[in-house]
Amino acid sequence: MYEFLATFTLIIHFLFIVYVILGGLLFFIKPWTLYFHIPAFLYGVYVEFTQSICSLTYLENYFLTKANLASYSTSFIQNYLYAIIYPINLTKELQIILGITLIIINVIIYGFIIKRK
């Protein structure tokens, strides 16, 4: 049960990262989603620039510990999702580059949103 919860949390974590990066595009479908995306985007920028650990990581680790596991047993999860969320070569410099890239992507998205209004 705890391994399932850890895996579920990892999937939610991945979806949250995708939402932080591209969630502004949902404005074109449902404009009210910006009220959720802006705080998520700001949190993503904060995590990248301060080298903080996302709170979902703590939840994943908690469930893994409760399941008496050091890592995920499913190869897809371990090889693909985990590697995307927690890259091995993540350095402070790379996190800053990712943070800048996140800002640029969202400036472009919000530029289209402002132009549309």
The string of pLDDT tens digits covering residues 20-62 is 999 999 999 999 999 999 999 999 999 999 988 888 989 988 9
The yes-or-no verdict on residue 74 having pLDDT over 70 is: no
* 19-23, 40-44, 72-76, 94-98: least confidently modelled range: 72-76
Q: Which residues contact 60 (CB under 8 A, 6 or more apart)?
A: 6, 9, 10, 13
Owning domain of residue 105:
2-116
Specify the number of domains making up the chain. Answer: 1
Place of tokens 């409760």: 66
pLDDT of residue 21: 95
Confidence class for position 72, pLDDT limits 50, 70, 90: low
pTM, 2 dp = 0.83
